C-alpha cells in the first residue's frame, strides 16, 4: 500500500512534503540494499508514494547512523539547504540541524495508507519563504491558497517539506531574480530527480 500526502491548499509545500517522504524512502532502499523503486503518483487530491512498507524502528536506527543519511544534511552535499532557508542568512545551518533531528522522529510515525496532511495553526514551525504559497512565486501575488506570510505548520510536515524542497526544487538565478522550479508529476520515480534537475538547468541557461 502506498504512503499518502494530501493537499492542504499550499501547492508547493504539499508537493515538497511528498518529495521529502520519497527521498527518505529512496535512501532507505539504497542503504538497506532493497530492490524496490520509490515512485510518486499524483491522484488529484494528493500524492501516493510507493516504496518499502515494512521498515522497522531497528531499520531506521541503523539508517540514521550511516554516512549516507548524515550526508544529506551536509552543506557540501547536493541538497540546496541554503536556498531553502535563504531568509535565515547565516543561521540557516541551525534549521538544517532541526530538520535532521525532526526527521528521525517523523519517519517513525509515517505508515502506508495513513494520509499525511500539513496542520496549519498558530503554533509550530514557520514555512520557509521558498515553500510558502506566495513567496515561492517571487511576488506577493494571488495564488489558489488563501494563506500567505509567516504560516506555521506542524514539525513533521515542516521537516519533510524542507527536505523535499532541498532535494527537488531547482533554484535558478534569472534576470528578474531567483526562481524556483519544481516538477509536479503524474508519475515519477524518485531516482529521476537528477535527470530533471539537469533539464531545468539547461532550460534556464537557454533563457
d(CA 79, CA 165): 9
pLDDT digit string, tens, across residues 20-52:
999 999 999 999 999 899 999 999 999 999 999
Kindly state the cell numbers that stand for 61: 536506527
Confidence class for position 116, pLDDT limits 50, 70, 90:
very high
- Residue 102 pLDDT exceeds 50: yes
pLDDT digit string, tens, across residues 54-85:
899 999 999 999 999 999 998 766 678 888 88
Least confident among 32-41, 55-64, 89-98, 135-144? 135-144
Q: DSSP letter at 85?
A: T
pLDDT of residue 149: 60
pLDDT of residue 182: 77
Taking the CA atoms of the chain, what radius of gyration do you get in angstroms? Answer: 16
Helix axes 155-168, 92-106, angle to 10 degrees: 110
**Predicted structure pTM score:** 0.85
pLDDT of residue 134: 64
Q: Are 39 and 50 in contact (CB under 8 A)?
A: yes
- 3 state DSSP class of 60: helix
Task: Kindly report the backbone phi and psi dihedral angles of residue 150, in degrees, each rounded to the nearest multiple of 5, phi listed first.
Answer: 50, 45
Residue 69: beta bridge partners? none
- 3 state DSSP class of 66: coil
Residues near 55 by beta carbon (within 8 Å), at least 6 away in sequence: 28, 32
Average pLDDT over residues 139-163: 73
Q: DSSP letter at 127?
A: P
Amino acid at each position: 500500500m502506498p504512503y499518502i500526502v494530501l493537499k492542504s491548499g499550499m501547492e508547493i509545500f504539499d508537493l515538497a512534503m511528498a518529495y521529502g517522504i520519497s527521498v527518505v524512502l529512496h535512501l532507505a532502499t539504497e542503504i538497506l540494499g532493497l530492490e524496490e523503486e520509490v515512485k510518486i503518483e499524483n491522484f488529484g487530491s494528493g500524492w501516493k508514494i510507493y516504496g518499502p512498507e515494512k521498515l522497522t524502528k531497528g531499520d531506521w536506527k541503523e539508517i540514521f547512523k550511516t554516512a549516507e543519511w548524515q550526508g544529506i544534511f551536509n552543506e557540501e552535499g547536493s541538497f540546496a539547504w541554503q536556498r531553502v532557508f535563504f531568509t535565515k542568512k547565516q543561521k540557516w545551518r541551525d534549521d538544517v540541524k532541526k530538520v535532521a533531528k525532526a526527521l528521525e522522529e517523523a519517519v517513525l510515525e509515517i505508515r502506508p495508507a495513513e494520509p499525511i496532511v500539513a496542520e496549519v495553526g498558530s503554533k509550530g514551525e514557520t514555512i520557509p519563504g521558498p515553500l510558502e504559497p506566495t513567496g515561492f512565486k517571487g511576488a506577493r501575488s494571488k495564488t489558489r491558497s488563501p494563506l500567505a506570510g509567516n504560516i506555521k505548520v506542524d514539525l513533521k510536515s515542516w521537516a519533510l517539506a524542507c527536505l523535499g524542497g532541498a532535494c527537488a526544487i531547482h533554484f535558478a538565478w534569472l534576470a528578474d531574480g531567483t526562481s524556483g522550479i519544481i516538477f509536479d508529476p503524474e508519475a515519477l520515480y524518485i531516482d529521476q530527480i537528477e535527470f530533471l534537475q539537469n533539464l531545468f538547468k539547461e532550460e534556464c541557461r537557454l533563457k
